[in-house]
């Protein structure tokens, strides 16, 4: 099992460009999450999907959209990137018990 995979690993965008971060899990987990990690801020929840077909906003959803494509895949889209979205993005998944499994992260720089 690969666990949680994320693509790309690194990305540089110019202000105003759009992109989609991809996430997939092969553990048959119901719930999936997107976090961003910024220095001194810990991880903050952007969006989550409790189950296939549902998505909900987390703590910092502005400027992002998500799609739960199927049970395996959960993508995060930046429609018009801003320098404030420079961060490391982590996808995670879980079953209906506490504890999440994290992907390796995507390091995004917006110039």
Partner 1 sequence: GNSVTQMEGPVTLSEEAFLTINCTYTATGYPSLFWYVQYPGEGLQLLLKATKADDKGSNKGFEATYRKETTSFHLEKGSVQVSDSAVYFCALSDRPSNSGYALNFGKGTSLLVTP
Contact residues for partner 1, defined by CB under 8 A: 4, 30-31, 33, 40-45, 48-51, 54, 56, 58, 90, 92, 94, 96-105
Shortest spacing between CB 98 and partner 1, in angstroms: 4
Our CB check for partner 1 shows the closer of 9 and 14 to be 9
Our CB check for partner 1 shows the closer of 52 and 86 to be 52
Sorted by sequence, the CB contacts under 8 Å of residue 33 that are 6+ apart come out as 45, 47, 48, 49, 58, 74, 91, 92, 93, 94, 100
Could you give the 3-state DSSP secondary structure of residue 87?
Answer: strand
Our CB check for partner 1 shows the closer of 17 and 43 to be 43
Sorted by sequence, the CB contacts under 8 Å of residue 61 that are 6+ apart come out as 46, 47
């Amino acid at each position: 099992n690969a666990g949680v995979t994320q693509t790309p690993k690194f990305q540089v965008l110019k202000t105003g460009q759009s992109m989609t971060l991809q996430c997939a899990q092969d553990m048959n987990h119901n719930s999936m999450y997107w976090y961003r990690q910024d220095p001194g801020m810990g991880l903050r929840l952007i969006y989550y999907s409790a189950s296939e077909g549902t998505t909900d906003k987390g703590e910092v959803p502005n400027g992002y959209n998500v799609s739960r494509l199927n049970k395996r895949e959960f993508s995060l889209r930046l429609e018009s990137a801003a320098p404030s979205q420079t961060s490391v993005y982590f996808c995670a998944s879980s079953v209906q018990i506490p504890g999440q499994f994290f992907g390796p992260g995507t390091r995004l720089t917006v110039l």
